[in-house]
């Protein structure tokens, strides 16, 4: 056999078909797909989508609802007698709060304003890795509530960064609060529940 014929029939021929019993090497894309399918929390049926839209809608709803109710409370209830909703147990009565939620920390207005601003920035940055709908709802409530009270801090009297928050929901044997406070508390409770269940913001689930 000539040298040319031996060269043509070498095993390095890329067009050679494998024998029926010969194992086929897995290509790089196939290996990547297999790793993705075996990743914890991965959903092979559908591509993952970020839940920024859910967070934005929940935050906007909480913020607008808080803003509208505060405007209405100042317009109709401030400097007026309290309105009983459920006897003495629940009533509407407007107060100006220089502290945190539910009237705590009244001497820390500027500090609390800075904390609220930091919370807003952190949530917005976290949204880039947000793939879980329950986490989007929880963070949306936190964002809407924090932004609602931050708006009061910036634009209400006595001045920028020192503005007093409008509270108007009074529960018997409890502090006066607003809907922004309620959104923050509900979002925090939901985050605790999700953490105990092992669900992370990126949609993965851990068991530890």
**C-alpha 145: how far from chain center:** 12
Nearest to 85 by CA among 165, 145, 166, 172: 172
| Catalytic-residue membership of 167 | yes
Catalytic residue among 33, 35, 167, 200: 167
CA–CA separation, 52 and 75 (whole Å): 34
Q: Which residues lie below 8 Å from residue 120, measured CB to CB, with a gap of 6+?
A: 143, 146, 147, 150
Helix, strand, or coil here: 98? coil
Identify the helix (H) or strand (E) that includes residue 166: strand 165-171
Give me 119's structure tokens: 């919370």
CA–CA separation, 43 and 36 (whole Å): 9
Is residue 176 within 8 Å of 166, Cβ to Cβ? no
CA–CA separation, 125 and 107 (whole Å): 29
| Catalytic-residue membership of 181 | yes
Catalytic residue among 181, 200, 202, 208: 181
Q: Which residues are catalytic?
A: 167, 181
């Amino acid at each position: 056999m000539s040298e040319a014929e031996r060269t043509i029939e070498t095993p390095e021929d890329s067009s050679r078909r494998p024998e029926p019993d010969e194992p086929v090497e897995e290509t790089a894309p196939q290996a990547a797909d297999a790793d993705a399918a075996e990743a914890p929390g991965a959903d092979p049926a559908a591509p993952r989508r970020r839940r920024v839209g859910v967070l934005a809608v929940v935050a906007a709803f909480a913020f607008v609802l808080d803003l509208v109710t505060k405007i209405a409370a100042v317009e109709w209830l401030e400097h007026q007698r309290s309105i009983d909703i459920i006897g003495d147990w629940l009533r509407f009565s407007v107060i100006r709060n220089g502290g945190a939620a539910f009237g705590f920390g009244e001497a820390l207005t500027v500090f609390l304003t800075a904390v609220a601003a930091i919370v807003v920035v952190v949530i917005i940055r976290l949204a880039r890795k947000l793939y879980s709908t329950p986490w989007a709802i929880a963070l949306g409530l936190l964002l809407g509530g924090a932004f609602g009270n931050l708006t009061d801090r910036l634009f209400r009297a006595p001045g920028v960064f020192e503005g007093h928050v409008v509270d108007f929901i009074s529960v018997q044997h409890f502090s006066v609060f607003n809907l922004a406070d309620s959104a923050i508390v509900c979002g925090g409770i939901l985050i605790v529940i999700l953490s105990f269940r092992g669900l992370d913001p990126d949609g993965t689930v851990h068991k530890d």
